[in-house]
Amino acid sequence: MTEHATEQAEKHTFKAEVNQILSLVVNSLYTHKEVFLRELISNASDALDHLSFKALTDESALGDDTELGIRITVDADARTVTISDNGVGMGHDELAENLGTIAHSGTRRLAEQMTGDTGADVNLIGQFGVGFYSAFLVAERVEVVSRKAGGDEAWRWASTADGSYTLEPAERDGRGTDVILHLRKDADEDEFLRDWVLRDLVRKYSDYVRHPIRLRTETGEGDEKTTSWEQVNKGSALWARRKGDITAEQATEFYKHLTHDWEAPLAHIHFKVEGMQEMAGLLFLPRRAPMEALARRKSGVRLFVKRVFVMDDCEELLPDYLRFVRGVVDSDDLPLNVSREFLQKDKTTAAIRKQVVRHALRMLDELADRADADADQEAQTEDGDGGGDDGGDDGGDAKAPPAATYADFWRQFGPILKEGVHADQANREQIAKLLRFTSSEGDELWSLAQYVLRMKDGQESIYYVTAPSRAAAESSPHLEALRDRGYEVLYMTDPIDEWVVDGLREFDGKSLVAAAKGALDLPESDEEKEQREEKEGALEGLLGRLKDVLSGDVEDVRVTSRLTDSPACLVVGEGGIAPHVERLLRAQNADIPEQKRILEINPAHPVVERLNALAGDDARSADVEDGAHLLYDQALIAEGSPVADPAQFARRLTRLLRTALG
C-alpha cells in the first residue's frame, strides 16, 4: 500500500466554486437527465482509448485482459446502475484531481463566467467537460472504484453532492473503473432500472462507440435464471460508415460524445479520401468557442489509424487558425505507433493535413454560402473547393441545423480565422472569401465579394478604416471625402485587422486602401485637380510654419483631399500601424519605436484659411503657434487618441476663446 492507504476514509471538501457548478448541474439540467448514460459511457470509452494508445508502445499494458469493453449492470433491488470499463484506470491522486475538482484550473474561471441565466450557464458548462457530474441527475450517491493499469491498489471515491467527497482503499480484481450510481428513491428514476430503457439509450446516444458496450441481462426465474451479456451498440466508427447511413441526429450525438458539449454543432462535414491517401474524417463547428481554442492551447482533432485511437488533440493535422474545429481523422497510411515527432517530419502527415484543412474550409464555405444567399440574393460566393485533388475524393458532406448561420460562427471565431490570412498563404484567397466586416452600409456582416458588387462606377479600390469600435469608425474624420462621394467603407474593429489587410493587400483585383493611411488618391476631374493644386500653392507659407511648430510631433504637414468638414486629421504613413493598435501594443509592453504621423489640413476649411491669413503677420505669430498646436490636439481627440499635455491644451483653448469673445 502507498502512503495514501489508510484504514479510514479520507474526507475532502469541494472548493466553493465547485459547489456552485455542481449545484447547477444537479438542479438545472434535470430535463436532460438521461444524458448521464452518454456522458459516463463517453468517459469509459476515453479510458479504453488511452489504454489502447499506451499499449502501442508498452506491450505489457494490456496483460492478460486484452478484450477491451464497457459493461452496464443493473441491480433493481439495490437500486444501482454500474458502468464498468477495463481501461487505463485511476489511482488515489488522479481520483482526487479528476473528480475532486471540475475542469481543474478552469473551475474558477467557469464559476466567474456563470451569469445566473440557466440556459446560458448550461451551455457554458459543456465547454469545461463536467460530464461526469451528470451522474447526480439521477443518483443520490455516486461511487467510483478504480484501479490504475499497472498498479496493484484500488481506490473508492464517493460523494452525495453535499459539498464533500471521500477517498478510501477498495478492492478490484483488475485495472479499470466502476461508476456505481445509487439511484434516488423516486419513481422518476425507476425507468433506469429497466434493461430495455438502458438498451434504447445506448443505441440512441452511444451506438457509434467503437468499443463493445454490453448490458447484463437475466432470463428465467429461481434456479432457472441465467445471466448473459448482450452487446447493445453496433460498435462501428461513425466516420467509417457511408454518408447515407449517418443521420444528422447521430452526427450530433457523436459530437456531444466527442466534446462533452451540451449544444448541437453549427455544422459538420463527413468525408472520405481514396487514392494516394486512404482516410476518413468527421469535422464539426462548435456553436460556442471552446475555452482551450481561445487560449491557444490545443487542437480539437483526434487521430485514429485504421480505427485504432492514437492521439488526442493532434495539432499536426490542423493549423492554429482552425483550432476551434472539433472532430476525428482516421488514416490508413500512418503506422500505429506514430509519435508527435514522427508526425512533424512525415510527408504523409502533410498530405493528410492538406485534406483536413481543405474540408474544414469547405465546411465554412458552405455555411457562408447559405448565409450570403439569404442575406443578399445578388451576392455570389464561390464554394472554395480548395484546388485540385491529391486523389479520389467524394467531396464530403457538410450540414448545418436550419438555425445555424455564418454570423453565429463569425461572432465566435472570426478573429481566430483571420489569423489564417498570414499563416496559410496557400489558402489565403479562400480564407479571404470567408472574412466578414461591418461597414458604412449598416450593422450587417458583409463579405468582400458583397462589397465589390456594390462598388460605385469609377471606384477602383476597397476602402476601410481600422478603429477600436464601430462608433469610433463612424465618427472618423478620415471618411468625410469617401462619404461625400458615396463610397462604402469597411469598419475593421479587431486589433488583428491591421495584420489581416497587410497580408491580404487586394481582393478580386481590387486593392485594399486604408482611409487613414498614406495618400488617399481619390479619382478627380481635371477641374478638381487644378483647384487642389492652386490651394496647395496658396498654403505654402502656412505649411512651412506648421512644420516648424510641430516638428517634434509630426513627420510632415500636407494638404489633404480626404476632409470636407474637419480642419485637420492625422494620417499614418505607409507601413505604419493604427494609433489604437499602437496603444494596445504599448499597454502590453511591446518594444515598438515611436511613430510620428502626418498632419493633413483641409484647405477649404475657414480655420485653415484664417490661419493662412495670419501666417504672414509677425505680430500674430503666437496665435498661429497656438492654432497649430490646437489643430494637432484636435486631430488627436477626433480619432480617439489622448492629448499629450491636457493642461497646455486647456490654456491654449482658453486664450483662443478669450480672443474670439473680444
Distance, in Å, from the CA atom of 440 to the CA atom of 464, rounded to the nearest integer, reads 10
Asked whether the beta carbons of 229 and 214 are under 8 A apart, the reply is yes
CATH number of 238-399: 3.30.230.80
Tell which residue, 87, 179, 90, 102, has the closest CA to residue 139. Answer: 179
pLDDT value at residue 647: 94
pLDDT value at residue 78: 94
Beta bridge partners of 170: 154
Q: Averaged over 542-568, what is the pLDDT?
A: 91
Map residue 223 onto helix, strand or coil: helix
**What cell does 20 get?**
456552485
- Greater model confidence, 83 or 644: 83
pLDDT value at residue 2: 42
Going from the C-alpha of 538 to that of each of 409, 528, 530, 577, 651, the distances in angstroms are: 54, 15, 13, 32, 30
- Domain residue ranges in the chain: 10-231, 238-399, 436-514, 526-660
pLDDT value at residue 511: 93
Range with lowest mean pLDDT among 92-96, 513-517, 578-582 = 578-582
Percent helix / strand / coil, the chain, rounded to 5: 45, 20, 35
Specify the amino acid at residue 553: D
Distance, in Å, from the CA atom of 102 to the CA atom of 89, rounded to the nearest integer, reads 18
Q: Averaged over 572-601, what is the pLDDT?
A: 80
Distance, in Å, from the CA atom of 662 to the CA atom of 596, rounded to the nearest integer, reads 36
Distance, in Å, from the CA atom of 426 to the CA atom of 386, rounded to the nearest integer, reads 9
Q: Averaged over 352-376, what is the pLDDT?
A: 84
Specify the amino acid at residue 335: P
For 391, which DSSP code? S
Query: Residue 510, Cβ neighbours under 10 Å: how many?
Result: 16
pLDDT value at residue 18: 59
**What cell does 542 get?**
502656412
Range with lowest mean pLDDT among 85-89, 144-148, 206-210 = 206-210
Which of these CATH numbers, 3.40.50.11260, 3.20.20.140, 3.40.50.1820, 3.30.300.180, describes 436-514? 3.40.50.11260
Distance, in Å, from the CA atom of 130 to the CA atom of 494, rounded to the nearest integer, reads 32
Residue with cell 453549427: 266
pLDDT value at residue 344: 75
Average pLDDT along the chain: 83
Tell which residue, 639, 625, 561, has the closest CA to residue 597. Answer: 639
Are domains 10-231 and 526-660 of this chain identical in fold?
A: no
pLDDT value at residue 492: 93
**What cell does 308 get?**
485504432
402-429 confidence digits (pLDDT tens)? 445 899 899 999 999 999 999 999 999 9
pLDDT value at residue 76: 92
467-524 confidence digits (pLDDT tens)? 889 998 999 999 999 999 999 999 999 989 988 998 898 999 999 999 988 777 777 7
Asked if the model's pLDDT at residue 283 lies above 70, the reply is: yes
pLDDT value at residue 106: 43
Yes or no: domain 10-231 corresponds to CATH 2.40.50.140: no
Q: Averaged over 55-79, what is the pLDDT?
A: 90
pLDDT value at residue 404: 59
113-122 as b/e, with b when 16 or more CB fall inside 10 Å? ebeeeeeebb
162-207 confidence digits (pLDDT tens)? 878 899 999 999 999 999 999 998 777 899 999 999 999 998 888 8
Distance, in Å, from the CA atom of 370 to the CA atom of 379, rounded to the nearest integer, reads 11
327's CB contacts (< 8 A; 6+ apart) are: 258, 268, 281, 282, 283, 284, 300, 301, 302
Which percentage of the chain shows pLDDT scores above 90?
Answer: 42
Tell which residue, 415, 427, 574, 430, has the closest CA to residue 500. Answer: 415
104-138 confidence digits (pLDDT tens)? 434 445 555 555 554 444 444 444 445 788 888 89
**What cell does 622 get?**
503666437
Asked if the model's pLDDT at residue 535 lies above 50, the reply is: yes
Range with lowest mean pLDDT among 238-247, 446-455, 631-640 = 238-247
Report the CATH fold assignment for 526-660: Four Helix Bundle (Hemerythrin (Met), subunit A) (1.20.120)
Distance, in Å, from the CA atom of 590 to the CA atom of 424, rounded to the nearest integer, reads 25
Asked if the model's pLDDT at residue 392 lies above 70, the reply is: no
Distance, in Å, from the CA atom of 323 to the CA atom of 327, rounded to the nearest integer, reads 11
Distance, in Å, from the CA atom of 535 to the CA atom of 130, rounded to the nearest integer, reads 69
Distance, in Å, from the CA atom of 140 to the CA atom of 183, rounded to the nearest integer, reads 6
286-302 confidence digits (pLDDT tens)? 988 765 555 555 668 88
616-648 confidence digits (pLDDT tens)? 888 788 888 999 999 999 999 988 888 989 999
Burial of 21 (0-12, 13-18, 19+ CB in 10 A): buried
- Measured at the CA of 102, the angle between CA 99 and CA 105, to 5 degrees, comes to 120
Asked if the model's pLDDT at residue 212 lies above 90, the reply is: yes
Asked if the model's pLDDT at residue 19 lies above 80, the reply is: no
Beta bridge partners of 164: 13
Residue ranges of the alpha helices (H) in 520-645? 526-538, 540-549, 579-587, 606-614, 621-639
- pTM higher than the cut 0.75: no
